[in-house]
């Protein structure tokens, strides 16, 4: 639960502005979105507002505590379009081509079996879908993961391209993060 508490930092919005990321996700009413590594729903619930009751946001996280928190909030706030799923990025229960948008926010560096996870994202992403990847700048700073596990956008681009994706854009997500928008090649 300690790692989840970091998700509640009061300065998170300043360090990682949500609006930049939500604009890049470009979800629309009725879309099916996978928020992989959803944590406590920092992007899940704003996305649920956008897709509306006609859409679906699959909040995927391996933490049982996070999933329980997401379920409780979705019920309490009436978000029937939020489906919390306890799973790792490497293996989700979603059907082939099920989602229009995937978002990985500051978790790429934490994925244990990236080749498997990349193939899983390729499997669940619809043919015209988009995958938004946001992660920490690979520069020393007081916040974020250790430097030795951070990756540059160029390193991530090389991995996703090798897995059958193409990079559509590289953008500045916030003061401490970068972003990539990718699609199936």
- Number of domains the chain contains: 1
CATH of the domain at 15: 3.40.50.150
Residue range(s) defining the domain that contains residue 52: 2-184
Q: Residue 181, SS3?
A: strand
Lowest mean pLDDT among 12-16, 32-36, 148-152: 12-16
Note the pTM of the prediction, 2 decimals. Answer: 0.92
Rounded distance, CA 47 to CA 53, Å? 11
Q: Within 10 A of 36 (CB to CB), how many other CB atoms are there? A: 30
| Cα dist from 40 to 7, 37, 139, 146, 163, whole Å | 7, 9, 26, 22, 29
Mean pLDDT of the chain: 93
What's residue 2's pLDDT?
Answer: 47
Rounded distance, CA 178 to CA 118, Å? 19
List the Cα angle 61/66/72 in 5-degree steps. 120
Handedness of CA 18, 46, 129, 117 (dihedral sign): positive
Question: pLDDT tens, 84-142?
Answer: 999 999 999 999 999 999 999 999 999 999 999 999 999 999 999 999 999 999 999 88
Hunting for tokens 């379920």 — which residue is that? 71
Q: Which of 80, 81, 83 is nearest to 70 (CA)?
A: 83
If you average pLDDT over residues 67-78, what whole number do you get?
97
């Amino acid at each position: 639960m300690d790692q989840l508490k970091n998700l509640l930092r009061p300065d998170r919005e300043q360090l990682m502005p949500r609006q930049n990321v939500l604009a890049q996700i470009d979800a629309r009413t009725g879309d099916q979105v996978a928020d992989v590594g959803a944590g406590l729903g920092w992007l899940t619930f704003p996305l649920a507002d956008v897709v509306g009751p006609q859409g679906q946001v699959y909040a995927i996280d391996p933490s049982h505590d996070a999933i329980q928190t997401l379920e409780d909030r979705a019920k309490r706030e009436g978000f029937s379009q939020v489906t919390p799923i306890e799973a790792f990025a490497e293996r989700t229960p979603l059907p082939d081509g099920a989602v229009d948008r995937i978002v990985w926010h500051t978790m790429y560096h934490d994925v244990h079996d990236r080749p498997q996870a990349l193939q899983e994202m390729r499997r669940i992403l619809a043919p015209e879908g988009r995958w938004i990847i946001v992660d920490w700048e690979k520069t020393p700073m007081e916040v974020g993961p250790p430097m030795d596990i951070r990756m540059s956008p160029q390193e991530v681009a090389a991995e996703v391209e090798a897995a059958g994706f193409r990079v559509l854009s590289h953008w500045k997500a916030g003061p401490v993060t970068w972003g990539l928008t990718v699609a199936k090649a």
